[in-house]
Structure 1
Amino acid sequence: MAKASTRAPVLGPAFIRLLARFGDTDLPQTPPVLTERLADWFDWNRALVLSRALDGDLPAAGDGAEIEDAECTRVRNALRQAIDADIEPLPQAREDAPAIDADYQPYRRHCMAVQRAMQAATGQLRGRLRHALAPRSPAKARLAEVDAVMEAVLSPREQMLLARVPGLLGLHYRRLRVAGASPSAGADAPHDAPAAGPWLARFRQDMRMALLAELEVRFHPIDGLLAALRNR
């Protein structure tokens, strides 16, 4: 009789749960305390800048440019359309390239292109929201300044972690394709795997779900700034 799996369920946001499943790995059941992790990430220069943002003088309130919900919705919808766009076929693969890896390259390129688009669009939108917040009140000016510091500190680490997504999706693609060859197929027989089938539809949906979850993660600070802008 088959032994029941003892793997503990992964807790956390949907994006983290998806990546853990794609990578077939377990995550720590007790994540590091946020304040301790931030203390490791801030060097003394960044800490001084953050301190000035929290304690320093603020500009006088004024009439800033209004960033409406429609602009954030437009950007989010455009990125969702990019996620759902057709994947370009791969040109003739080199003969020395493993077939299973070559077949994954269109999906890898699509994933990386969408990630670049998300990074550029959300970064620009985040800056515009800060610019709109700053003149509205002293509290909102402070929030905008703190967000700028946090983005400078956390974005490089965020990009380093998100850069692993195409690789994890590649592992997921390989497992699904090999499993689709036959019920007894193993990882040592990638060339016998079918070029298409139900497994490919599942992979495409999983990749879409992962990119949509990443989009929501990238929009978290934007949603926060937008909520502050709405709040009068």
Structure 2
Amino acid sequence: MAKASQRAPVLGPAFIRLLARFKDDATSPTAPDVSARLATWFDWNRAITLSRALDNLPAPAPDGATFDQDHDADCTRVRDRLLQAIHAEIAPVGPVDADAPDPYAPYRQHYQAQQRAMQTATGNLRGRLRDMLARQSTAKARLAEVDAVMEATLSPREHTLLSHVPALLGLHYQRLHDSAASADAQASATTTALFLQDLRTALLAELEVRFHPIEGLLAALRTR
């Protein structure tokens, strides 16, 4: 009896492993060299800006709100709203027709809409937290400047990489759709339910990625 081919395990965060499963190819198990990868993302201008943020005294922070329990609770509310939108019943833009030229299109539009909501909410929240961090102390103001440089440098790359997720989900959808093409209605419905679960899992994993810098800022703000 022929042995089923075994794929090498994919190393990396849960989000990366999930995307590798959607892609369904033999991804190299070698973990990426993070320092080497980051070196390609920083041009000399960004490197100088980061060096200045680390070495120079930060500029005085403008007047504004200081971090307190209300702001902490507001961060929780922002995350909860995004989680509720992800767990809500998926209502794609337009009808989902398996016989349409592009039956995945409504799901792609739904995922992209969720991405835009996450990007807007987390971007605004990150900026507000950074401003409040800069008002706490000189050391924390330097950390806020470093975060601003990192966001300006890495966010465009992050946006480009995350914009590929709907396409990977589309490949996953197509494989499931093809496997269920000759199945009965009940099996087809089960396949759709499995896909929707995977779509939500991808959105939840992406939300975690987008909240990583926010959690770092919150940890600094809570430390006195």
Q: 2:74 aligns with which of 66, 71, 74?
A: 71
Work out whether residues 133 and 144 of structure 2, in 8 Å CA contact, stay in contact via their aligned partners in 1.
yes
- Select between 4-13 and 199-208 the one with higher mean Cα deviation: 4-13
Gaps of at least 5 residues in structure 1 are 184-191
- Residue 63 of structure 1 deviates from its aligned partner by 8.4
1:80 and 2:72 matched: no
In structure 2, the partner of 1:4 is 4
Tell me the distance in 1 between the aligned counterparts of 2:157 and 2:21. 22
- Residue 75 of structure 1 deviates from its aligned partner by 0.8
In structure 2, the partner of 1:211 is 203
In structure 1, the partner of 2:167 is 167
For residue 87 of structure 1, give the secondary structure of its aligned residue in structure 2. Answer: coil
- Residue 19 of structure 1 deviates from its aligned partner by 0.6
Structure 2 vs 1, CA of residues 166 and 209 (structure 1 numbering), >3 Å: closer, same or farther?
A: same
- Residue 81 of structure 1 deviates from its aligned partner by 1.7
- Cα deviation digits, residues 121-158 of structure 1 (max 9, x gap): 10000000100000101111111100000011111111
For residue 181 of structure 1, give the secondary structure of its aligned residue in structure 2. Answer: coil
In structure 2, the partner of 1:130 is 130
Structure 2 vs 1, CA of residues 50 and 193 (structure 1 numbering), >3 Å: closer, same or farther?
A: farther
Equivalent residues in 2 for 1:39-188 (5 A)? Answer: 39-59=39-59, 65-66=66-67, 68-85=71-88, 86-88=90-92, 90-91=94-95, 99=99, 101-182=101-182
- Residue 105 of structure 1 deviates from its aligned partner by 1.5
In structure 1, the partner of 2:27 is 27
Work out whether residues 42 and 153 of structure 2, in 8 Å CA contact, stay in contact via their aligned partners in 1.
yes
Tell me the distance in 2 between the aligned counterparts of 1:23 and 1:136. 45
Percent identical across equivalent pairs? 63
Tell me the distance in 1 between the aligned counterparts of 2:96 and 2:14. 36
- Residue 31 of structure 1 deviates from its aligned partner by 2.9
- Cα deviation digits, residues 166-209 of structure 1 (max 9, x gap): 111111111111112348xxxxxxxx999941110000000000
TM-score normalised per structure 2: 0.89
Tell me the distance in 2 between the aligned counterparts of 1:160 and 1:119. 12
Q: How many correspondences in the alignment?
A: 220
- Select between 152-161 and 74-83 the one with higher mean Cα deviation: 74-83
- Residue 6 of structure 1 deviates from its aligned partner by 2.5
TM-score normalised per structure 1: 0.86
The alignment's C-alpha RMSD in Å is 2.5
The one-letter code matched in structure 1 to 2:111 is: C
